[in-house]
Amino acid sequence: DTEVTQTPKHLVMGMTNKKSLKCEQHMGHRAMYWYKQKAKKPPELMFVYSYEKLSINESVPSRFSPECPNSSLLNLHLHALQPEDSALYLCASSQVEGATGITRGTEAFFGQGTRLTVV
């Protein structure tokens, strides 16, 4: 199974709502990522988890809260979002080097994304 599964595929939420995006992989990868992609732009890295610990936060606003409950699951909790947060949210996973916990020279697998609309 070489898939990264993201749910839901589409989500519409109000600015006062709380919702969560879910990402799952069963490839034994120990690095997982969240990206945000606006139309006609490249994906922007938001968070990286390595061995279920948050290793990189690219100065993302606190209304986005990641969680990695186990090595197969990655969640992104959303609260009090703004309309400009509407975008495609992508999850990815990859192997890491055992000693360093770094992703290097290995293939990353991406999900198909969750299309989020904030109204």
Residues lying near another protein in the complex (CB under 8 A) are found at 4, 31, 33, 35, 42-45, 48, 50, 55-56, 90, 92, 94, 96, 100-113
In angstroms, the CA 33 to CA 25 distance is: 12
Beta carbon nearer to another protein, 17 or 72? 72
Closest approach, Cβ 113 to another protein, in A, equals 5
Beta carbon nearer to another protein, 57 or 82? 57
Closest approach, Cβ 22 to another protein, in A, equals 15
CA dihedral 50, 28, 44, 113 (to 10 degrees): -140
Cβ pair 97, 84 in contact under 8 A:
no
Of the candidates 99, 102, 103, 113, the residue with the CA atom closest to the CA atom of residue 43: 113
Beta carbon nearer to another protein, 16 or 99? 99
